[in-house]
Amino acid sequence: MFHQIWAAVLYLYGILFNSIYQCPEHSQLTTLRVDENKFQDPHLGQWYFIAGAAPTKEELSTFDSVDNIVFNMSASTVPMQLQLRAGIRTKNGHCVPRQWIYHLTERSTDLRTEGRPDMKTELFSSPCPGGIILKETDQGYQRFLLYNRLPHPPEKCVEEFQSLTSCLDFKTFLVTPRNQETCKLSSS
Ligand SMILES: *[C@@H]1O[C@H](CO)[C@@H](O)[C@H](O)[C@H]1NC(C)=O
């Protein structure tokens, strides 16, 4: 009898722990706004891609061959535009340079990617110092991506990102290996 009650208590405690402590009722994600009028936008400069989370495996498959990615965000000479450069180091050692143009929008905090009319990028603050969280939504996929100013942020940052995103039902998770040297970013 006592054993059964104890089992029931533990079971209830398990449910409460999972629903209350692991997944807060309101998402802890806070939207960030990129403000082009600020002289020194905190989003500019170098970032490292750390981890990704999505509802399904397919939505992260583009990163399967990635060892590490370094990004550099810079202000464009054109108003309301940002330029993002990336150096993708593949697992087999190649460097793949990529480049995107983001358009800031007056009315929303979303970024729009040039040439990708259905793609939307939202920025969120990360609970971890030096971190930022992006949510990319396009036709057929949505995913959260964790970036940090450091190539190897504390393990806790990755764990917090994982619990935050899994609470939103983005339960497939990927951490980049980051074993190899980062690629050089070419200017212009
Ligand atoms: C990286 O970003 C910084 C800040 O936006 C910029 O000053 C610098 O020119 C960029 N470097 C490259 C290689 O794009």
Q: Does any domain span residue 78?
A: yes
Q: Does any domain span residue 121?
A: yes
Q: Does any domain span residue 21?
A: no
Q: Does any domain span residue 106?
A: yes
Q: What is the domain range of residue 66?
A: 36-175
pLDDT tens digits, 99-129? 999 998 887 888 999 999 999 999 999 989 9
The predicted pLDDT at position 19 comes to: 47
Q: Does any domain span residue 132?
A: yes
Q: Does any domain span residue 181?
A: no
Distance 170 CA to ligand 1 centre (A): 32
Q: Which residue of 38, 48, 74 sits with most ligand 1 atoms within 8 Å of its CB, as the best mutation to test the pocket? A: 74
- For ligand 1, atom 6, the nearest C-alpha belongs to 74
Q: Can you spell out the DSSP letters for 33-61?
A: ---TTSSS-TT-EEEEEEEEEESSGGGGG
Q: Does any domain span residue 27?
A: no
- Indicate which CATH number applies to the domain containing 99: 2.40.128.20
- For ligand 1, atom 4, the nearest C-alpha belongs to 45
Contact of 49 with 147, CB cutoff 8 Å: yes
pLDDT tens digits, 129-151? 999 999 999 999 999 999 999 99
Structure pTM? 0.84
The predicted pLDDT at position 23 comes to: 76
Report the domain count for the chain: 1
Burial degree of 77 (CB within 10 A; 0-12, 13-18, 19+): exposed
Report residues of the chain scoring pLDDT below 50.
15-21
74 touches ligand 1 (CB under 6 Å): yes
Helix or strand holding residue 164 (H, E): helix 155-167
Q: Does any domain span residue 153?
A: yes
